[in-house]
């Protein structure tokens, strides 16, 4: 196995990433207790075998391992369609401690989850929250999500930080019966997310309307009964809380499949068009989505994009996208809004980014990551069109960026009043 030899500060002054790999091979202990027979494995593409306790559904799945730094909202994370094709390693150790409920679900299809698996540090405890309706382990089983606990997620995070995204197979068998050679071959053979269009797995297959508004304690979710605007949301794998944010801003929302033609969208006579988040390589999905986005831009309608929608909007105006080393996944990412000069803490989930050097002259860079300087937002200088890389709807995460939905509505209102600038 070839591994980097430099010292990794996150693993201690004397422990290199090679040593981290060796430590991960020996993982499978929880609190120092040796596990004689593991019931779950995480098998990396380089042959590293990480042992642990199985949780959730039994079976196996292959995907790209990424780490998420959020300390709350594990249900929202695990039901975010943008994680299709990925195995999530949570850096926060206490996942599952508040149980699970039927409200904190982000996929529009309540019966499915598209994440390939989850990796935890500690065992799942009994739920301790007034909103809990069931044990987290039971929730994972019902949704078909394979999990492994007892993993040194700190070492795994350090390994990903050094090497970049890693492909792996996650497997859970209550009897501890594994064909390790077959799992190694499957992990090594998986091609990865570059060039992969995963949107067909997560997009709506037919049009529907949405009027549910944001959750408010103690009433819960509300309804938008007197909408002032009509927004068509193109579903590349959208999150429900985005729709709630739009509805809470006075919108009637019509959701359409990712493959919808621009002519069909415009025939609905929307006041604005929203381009949603989603999984996979934007260049792959853009093969059929970008031509339609260009027509939407040309229509003069206000357009707002988030995450994958942001990336494909950038492609539509002539920019390029690229795969990131480790991506951005978490609810604590600082972003600067150049239009206001303010810094906001944001929720992110993306493994591809817009190449800021490729932005054309008629596009303004509006937001930038303060972690690594990557692009986080654009706006067209001559049209009511803008997008951001991060998730202003949060869920989970801070609500610093809710103002972007108001910014979209302001563009719609100006357009309705005949302002063409």
Q: Mean pLDDT, to the nearest integer, of 5-12? A: 33
Determine the pLDDT at residue 6: 31
- The confidence score (pLDDT) of residue 148 equals 98
Mean pLDDT of 196-215: 96
Answer yes or no: 307 catalytic.
yes
pLDDT value of position 111: 62
Active site residue 391: yes
The partner residues of 59 in beta bridges, in order of sequence, read 172
pLDDT tens, position by position, 362-400: 999 999 999 999 999 999 999 999 999 999 999 999 999
312 vs 316: CA distance, rounded Å: 6
Determine the pLDDT at residue 330. 97
Q: What integer best gives the mean pLDDT of the chain?
A: 92
CATH class (in words) of the domain with range 199-416: alpha beta
User: What's the pLDDT band for 36 if we cut at 50, 70, 90?
Assistant: low
- pLDDT on residue 9: 33
Helix or strand holding residue 61 (H, E): strand 59-68
Structure tokens at 353: 């980014």
Pair of tokens at residue 294: 């260009």
Q: Which residues contact 114 (CB under 8 A, 6 or more apart)?
A: 81, 83, 84, 85, 107, 198, 201, 202, 237, 279
pLDDT over threshold 60, residue 7: no
Note whether 209 and 232 are within 8 A (CB).
no
Query: Is the overall model pTM greater than 0.95, yes or no?
Result: no
Rounded Cα–Cα distance for residues 77 and 86 (Å): 11
Domains 9-189 and 199-416 share a fold: no
Residue 164, pLDDT > 70, answer yes
Q: pLDDT exceeding 90 applies to what percent of the chain? A: 88
For position 418, what pLDDT does the model report?
A: 85
Judged against a pLDDT cut of 60, whether residue 287 lies above it is answered with yes
Q: What is the mean pLDDT of residues 391-413?
A: 97
What is the average per-residue pLDDT within 225-247? 98
The predicted-structure confidence for 11-25, as pLDDT tens digits, reads as follows 333 344 445 555 555
Checking if the pLDDT of 250 tops 70, the result is: yes
- Going by pLDDT thresholds of 50, 70 and 90, the confidence category of residue 108 is confident
Give the single-character DSSP code of 243. Answer: H
Residues 246/253, Cβ–Cβ less than 8 Å: yes
Q: Which residues of 140-154 are buried (b: 16+ CB within 10 A; e: fewer)?
A: bbebebbbbbbbbbb
What pLDDT does 81 receive?
Answer: 96
pLDDT attached to residue 113: 80
- Can you tell me the distance from the alpha carbon of 383 to that of 387, in angstroms, rounded to the nearest whole number? 12
Domain ranges of the chain: 9-189, 199-416
- Do 254 and 270 touch, CB atoms closer than 8 A? yes
State how far the Cα of 74 lies from the Cα of 143, in Å rounded to an integer: 14
Q: What is the pLDDT of residue 19?
A: 52
| Residue from 118, 245, 307, 376 carrying the catalytic annotation | 307
Question: pLDDT tens digits for 38-67?
Answer: 999 999 999 999 999 999 999 999 999 999
Is pLDDT at 338 greater than 60 in this prediction?
yes
Confidence of residue 339 (pLDDT cuts 50, 70, 90): very high
Looking at residue 35, its pLDDT comes to 47
Told to judge if 310 belongs to the known catalytic residues of this protein, a careful annotator would answer no
pLDDT at 109: 72
pLDDT at site 116: 97
6-20, 94-108, 194-208: segment of lowest average pLDDT: 6-20
pLDDT tens digits for range 220-233 = 999 999 999 999 99
- pLDDT classification of 34: cutoffs 50, 70, 90: low
CATH of 9-189, one of 3.50.30.20, 3.40.50.720, 1.20.1630.10, 3.40.640.10: 3.50.30.20
Catalytically annotated residue among 114, 350, 367, 391: 391
Which pLDDT score, from 0 to 100, does residue 30 have?
A: 45
- Segment 302-334, tens digit of pLDDT: 999 999 999 999 999 999 999 999 999 999 999
- CA 63 distance to own-chain centroid: 14
Tokens 């979710």 locate to 221
Residue found by looking up tokens 């679900």 in the block: 105
* Distance, CA of 339 to CA of 6 (rounded, Å): 40
């Amino acid at each position: 196995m070839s591994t980097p030899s430099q010292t990794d500060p996150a693993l201690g002054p004397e422990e290199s990433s090679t040593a981290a790999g060796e430590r991960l091979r020996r993982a499978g202990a929880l609190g120092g207790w040796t596990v004689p027979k593991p019931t779950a494995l995480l098998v990396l593409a380089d042959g590293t075998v990480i042992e642990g306790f199985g949780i959730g559904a039994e079976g196996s799945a292959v995907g790209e391992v990424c780490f998420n730094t959020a300390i709350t909202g594990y249900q929202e994370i695990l039901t975010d369609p943008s994680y299709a094709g990925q195995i999530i390693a949570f850096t926060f150790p206490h996942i599952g401690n508040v149980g699970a409920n039927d409200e904190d679900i982000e996929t529009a299809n309540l019966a499915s989850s598209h994440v390939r698996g989850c990796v935890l540090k500690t065992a799942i405890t009994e739920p301790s929250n007034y909103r809990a309706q069931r044990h987290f382990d039971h929730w994972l089983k019902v949704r078909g999500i394979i999990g492994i606990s007892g993993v040194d997620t700190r070492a795994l995070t350090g390994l990903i930080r050094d090497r970049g995204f890693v492909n792996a197979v996650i497997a859970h068998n209550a009897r501890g019966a594994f064909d390790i050679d077959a799992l190694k071959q499957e992990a090594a053979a998986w091609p990865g997310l570059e060039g992969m269009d995963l949107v067909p797995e997560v997009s709506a297959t037919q049009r529907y309307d949405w009027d549910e508004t944001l959750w408010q304690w103690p009433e819960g979710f509300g309804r938008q009964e007197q909408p002032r605007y009509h927004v068509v949301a193109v579903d590349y794998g959208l999150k429900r809380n985005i729709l709630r944010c739009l509805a809470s801003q006075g919108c009637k929302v019509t959701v359409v499949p990712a493959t919808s033609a621009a002519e069909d969208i415009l025939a609905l006579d929307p006041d604005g068009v929203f381009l949603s988040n989603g999984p996979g390589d934007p260049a792959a999905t853009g093969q059929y989505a970008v031509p339609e986005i260009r027509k939407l831009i040309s229509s003069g309608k206000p357009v707002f994009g988030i995450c994958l929608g942001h990336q494909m909007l950038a492609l539509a105006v002539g920019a390029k996208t690229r795969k990131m080393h480790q991506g951005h996944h978490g609810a604590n990412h600082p972003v600067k809004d150049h239009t206001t000069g303010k810094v906001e803490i944001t929720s992110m989930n993306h493994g591809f980014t817009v190449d800021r050097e490729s932005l054309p002259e008629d596009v303004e860079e509006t937001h930038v990551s303060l972690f690594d300087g990557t692009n986080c937002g654009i706006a067209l200088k001559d049209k009511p069109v803008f997008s951001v890389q991060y998730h202003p709807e949060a869920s989970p995460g801070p609500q610093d960026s809710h103002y972007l939905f108001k910014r979209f509505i302001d563009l719609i209102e100006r357009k309705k009043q005949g302002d063409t600038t």
